[in-house]
Chains A and B, each alone.
Chain A
C-alpha cells in the first residue's frame, strides 16, 4: 500500500462487511426457514432466529425425494461433464493450434459457432437427439434409400432401424451439455502462449505429436485444467432445465431438480421449511468447492472467459 489511511481502511472494511451481509442475507434466511416447523414458517413475519428443526426437515427432504441417489447423480453428471469437456476440448484445441491441415479453418469456425447459443433455444430437437442418437444415421439410410437398394440387389426385404436411446442415462444428461466450445477456446488461447521452442526442442529429441502432447503440453496445462474443472463442475451441478426435461426416471434426476420438486405449489402443502433445507443441502457441495478451492476457482473464472 502506498500510504496509511486508517479511516479509509475502516470504511473499506465496512464496505466489505456490507457486501458480505448482502451475500449472506438470503442464505441466512434460507437457513432460518429451513430450521422452522411448517407452522412457524407460515408466520408473518417469519422468526428472525433459527429454530431447532433443521435436521428434522432435512430428514424429511432426504426421504421425500431420495436425496442420497440424487446427490450421487449430481456428482456423476457434474464430474462427467467436467472430464468429458476437458478431454475433448484439449484434443480439439491441440488439433487446431498445432496442426496445419486443409480444413483447419473450417473446423475452427464450426466449433466457434457453438460458443454462445443458449440451450433453451433448441431443447425440443435436442431431446429427440438424446432419445435416439442414431436418428441422423437413420435419416441417411432413408435418404439414400439404402433399403430399396438392398432389395433391388438381393431381392430380400430388410428393415433397418437403428436405435441408441440415451434417455435416463448419464450420458444423456452429460453429452448435450458438453456440446459447446468454451473450453476449447480456453485451451486454444493457452496453447497460443506456449513458447514455440518447446515443440522445436521436443522435435530435436524425436518426439511424435502425441508424445509432445502427453509429456509437455498436458503437464503445462495442469493448472488451467484444474481451474477450468472447477467452473465446469459448478456448471454441471447447477443445471436446471436440461435435467428437468430429460430425466423421466426419478432415480436419474439431480439434486437441483430434487429441490425443485420440494418447492410448494399452489395446491400442495406449503412445506417451505423442507424445501429450504433441501435447497441448502443441494447447494452445499458447490459452495464447499468454491470455499476450499478459492484460488483455483478464481483462476478458472478468469481463464474461462478470456
Chain B
C-alpha cells in the first residue's frame, strides 16, 4: 500500500498545473531534457526536439534551456538532491569526471544495451568517443562537440601580403606582427573567452605535450598536472608578449570577442567551430578559416573536443528510459547528425554523417565547416591528445585562468604563473582523489 498525499497547490500554481496537465492528457511518454544552448543554437535544439517528437507518437522530449553550462549542472545537482531530476542533462566536457563518479547517472552504452538499441559506437569520431568513454564504453551521449579552429580575415591578410595564416606558430606570429605594422588591421587576434581550451589545452594536445601524468588522467585519479614543464610555458609567454605589443586584444566581460573579429578590428580569431553560425550571420568581412597552428618541426596531432554531452540521470521509470534511448537512437542517426552539423556548426559525431556531408558536396559550398572534423581525425590520438579526465576540472581550469590573468596583468612571469597554476590544480586534484578514492 502506498499512501501519497499531495498537498493542494495554491491558486497561483494553477496556471502551471494546467499547462503540465494538458501535456499529461496526450499519450506519449514525456522526458525532460535540460540544456544550455541559447541564441541560434537554442532555436536549433527546439527544432531538433520538434522533429523527434513528430517522428513518433510514443515519446516526447521536452527541451528546457536552463541557462549556461554552469547553471545546468547546478540545476541538475540541486534537482537530483531534491529527488526531482530531469531525465537528460547536457553537461560540458569538463564535467565528465564529476558526472561519471556521481552515482547519479546511467551510462549511455549500458542504457542503449538494456533497452535493445544497437548503436554503431565504433563509427563515432575518435576524439569525440574517446573523451566521453570510460573503460572502453561511452558513459555519456556525445551531443554538441566542437573543436577550435582559426578564423581569419582574408582581406587583411592579403593587404599585408599573405595568402592565408601560416601553419606554424613562429611564422603565424610574424604574420600577425606584419599585419599590425602594415596597418591592415588594428590588432592581430582577439582572445576568445575560452582561450584556455583553444590556446592552452588544444595547443598541448596538437603538439603532443603531456598535460598531466597518468595519460592526462585516463589511467587514475592520482594524476598530476605537469604542463608547467612543457611548451605550454613559452606559449603563454607568447600570448603575454602579443598582448603587450597590441597584437592580441581581450574583449572582456559583457562583450563578445567575436565582435572584434567580425567588425574587422582584429585579423584572426581562435574559436570553436560552433562560432560559424554567428560569424556567417554577422560578418561583413571576407573571412575564412583554417587549422590551428603547430610548432615548427612537429607532427601535428589531433585536436581535442569541447562542447557538451548528454547524461542520463538514473532512477527513472523503464518506459522513460525507453523514451530516452529512442531519442538517442534518433540523435545517432547519420541524417540527424548531418542536419545538426549543418544547422549548428558543431562537428558530426559519426564518420557516416561526415561521409554523407562530403558526398552531398556540403564542404564544397562551406569548406571551413570541414576543418574541425579533419583536425579531430588527424592521425592516431596519443595519450596526450585523446582528451582530459580530471576531477574538478572546472575548478582547476579556473585556477589556471586566474594565473594566466596574473601573467597578463604583469604580476607574474610565465613560468611562475604556470608553476602556481599547476600547484593549485594539483591541490584540487588531490581533493578529488581523497573524495573518490577507489571509485575509478
Contacts and interface: CB of A to CB of B under 8 A. Distances in A.
Q: Does A touch B (CB under 8 Å) in the complex?
A: yes
Interface of A: 38-39, 42-44, 76, 80, 123-124, 127-128, 130-134, 156-171, 174, 244-245, 248-252, 260-261, 263-272
A240 B311 CA distance: 27
B409 interface: no
B275 interface: yes
Contact of A265 (B1, B68, B77, B262): B68
Interface stretch (B37-45, B220-228, B238-246, B387-395): B37-45
A206 to B, nearest CB: 36
A170 B12 contact: yes
Nearest to B6: A163
Nearest to A245: B75
Contacts of B257: 266
Nearest to B86: A248
A268 B1 contact: no
B3 interface: yes
A156 B1 CA distance: 9
Nearest to A73: B15
A158 B265 CA distance: 70
B27 interface: no
Contact of B256 (A43, A80, A156, A264): A264
B230 interface: no
B265 A171 contact: no
Contacts of A127: 78-79, 81-82
A164 to B, nearest CB: 5
Contact of B282 (A123, A131, A269): A269
Interface stretch (B59-67, B132-140, B174-182, B427-435): B59-67
Most buried by B among A260, A261, A269: A269
B422 interface: no
A260 B71 CA distance: 12
A252 B10 CA distance: 16
B10 A248 contact: no
A128 B274 CA distance: 35
B118 interface: no
Nearest to B39: A268
B78 A245 contact: yes
B64 A249 contact: yes
A175 to B, nearest CB: 10
B412 to A, nearest CB: 25
A161 B4 CA distance: 6
A245 B256 contact: no
Contacts of B122: none
A247 to B, nearest CB: 9
Contact of B193 (A44, A124, A156, A266): A266
A134 B275 contact: no
A3 B257 CA distance: 57
A305 B153 CA distance: 56
B281 interface: yes
Contacts of A245: 71, 74-75, 78
Nearest to A271: B39
Given A130-B82, A160-B3, A268-B278, 8 more contacts: A161-B2, A166-B13, A167-B79, A171-B13, A265-B39, A266-B257, A266-B258, A272-B255
A132 B254 CA distance: 36
Contacts of B281: 269
B147 interface: no
A243 B282 CA distance: 32
A38 B282 contact: yes
B83 interface: yes
Interface residues of B, number: 57
Contacts of A271: 39
Nearest to B263: A42
Nearest to A174: B12
Interface in B147-181: none
B84 interface: yes
Contact of A131 (B9, B71, B84): B84
Nearest to B265: A44
B7 interface: yes
B3 A44 contact: no
B272 interface: yes
A43 B263 contact: yes
A169 B12 contact: yes
Contacts of B193: 266
Contacts of B81: 124, 127-128
A268 to B, nearest CB: 3
B16 A270 contact: no
B56 interface: no
Sort A-B residue pairs by CB-CB distance and give the 8 closest, nearest first: A131-B82, A268-B39, A169-B13, A170-B12, A127-B78, A266-B193, A269-B278, A128-B82
22 contacts: A42-B263, A42-B282, A128-B81, A130-B82, A132-B84, A159-B2, A159-B3, A160-B3, A163-B4, A166-B13, A170-B15, A171-B9, A245-B75, A245-B78, A248-B79, A249-B19, A260-B67, A261-B67, A263-B254, A267-B258, A269-B277, A270-B262
Nearest to B82: A131
B340 interface: no
Given A265-B256, A268-B38, A269-B39, A132 B82 contact: yes
A171 to B, nearest CB: 5
B102 to A, nearest CB: 15
B99 interface: no
Nearest to B74: A245
Contacts of B256: 264-266, 268, 270
Nearest to B273: A267
Contact of B84 (A76, A167, A252): A167
A168 B23 CA distance: 15
A244 B71 CA distance: 8
A268 B41 contact: yes
B192 interface: yes
Contacts of A249: 16, 19, 64
A130 B84 CA distance: 11
A124 B80 CA distance: 11
Contacts of A250: 64-65
B298 interface: no
B194 interface: yes
Contact of A128 (B7, B64, B78, B271): B78
Contacts of A131: 78-79, 82-84
A165 to B, nearest CB: 7
B53 interface: no
Contacts of B275: 267
Nearest to A127: B78
